[in-house]
Structures are given as structure tokens and as C-alpha cells.
Amino acid sequence: MPPQPNMQQLMKQAQKMQRDLLAAQEEIAATTVEGSAGGGLVKATMTGSGELTQLAIEPSVVDADDIETLQDLVVAAVRDAKSNADELAAAKMGPMAGSMGGSLGLPGF
């Protein structure tokens, strides 16, 4: 029969992981990412946590007779920024998520 885990040690590890997780979440929220479309004609900036903070549109892409293209470019730029924010979060949180199971020895924790 395997030895019982030291509960005090497990609690310390869990508290450290919680602090590390909170620090990573704060760092992600404070970081900005950019996405673009149309070769940079439309740029979207958002926080790592996904809040859109800025949208820049080159005047040359604004055409009253072709609003659909501009709309598509805006959507594409925001999606690109969101994808970049997701990648940032995965890079910051991934190592912690992977170590949780091994550190506590419990699946999903």
C-alpha cells in the first residue's frame, strides 16, 4: 500500500499553485496583443484577457460602396487578436496546468 500523502505538504503546494495561477492571470490581463487583417489595414488591440481596447482602420479601406469588406476586415482583425490572446494565455497557463496533475498526484488538480 503506498504511503499516505502529507496533507500539510499538499496544502502548501496547492496554495503556491493558486498564487502562481493568480499572478499569471494578472500578467495576462495586463498584457496587450494585436491582431490585423488586410495586410495591416485594420488592426485590433486587446488585453490578454480578451477585452478589446483599440481598433485602427486605415482610411484607404473605407469605401461607402463596399461596407461589407470593411466589416469582414474588422471581424478578421478582432478574431486574430483573440487568437493571439488565447495563445498568450496558453503559454502562460499551460505549464501550470500540466504540472498540476503531477504535483498533487490527482487528475485535474
Predicted local distance difference test score (pLDDT) of residue 3: 67
Q: Which CATH number fits domain 8-101: 3.30.1310.10, 3.90.79.10, 3.30.930.10, 3.40.50.720?
A: 3.30.1310.10
Proportion of the chain above pLDDT 70, given as a percent: 82
Predicted TM-score (pTM) of the model is 0.72
**Cell digits of residue 105:** 498526484
Nearest-angstrom CA–CA distance, 104 and 109 = 7
Best CA proximity match to 76, nearest among 39, 48, 47, 49: 39
CB 38 within 8 A of CB 70: no
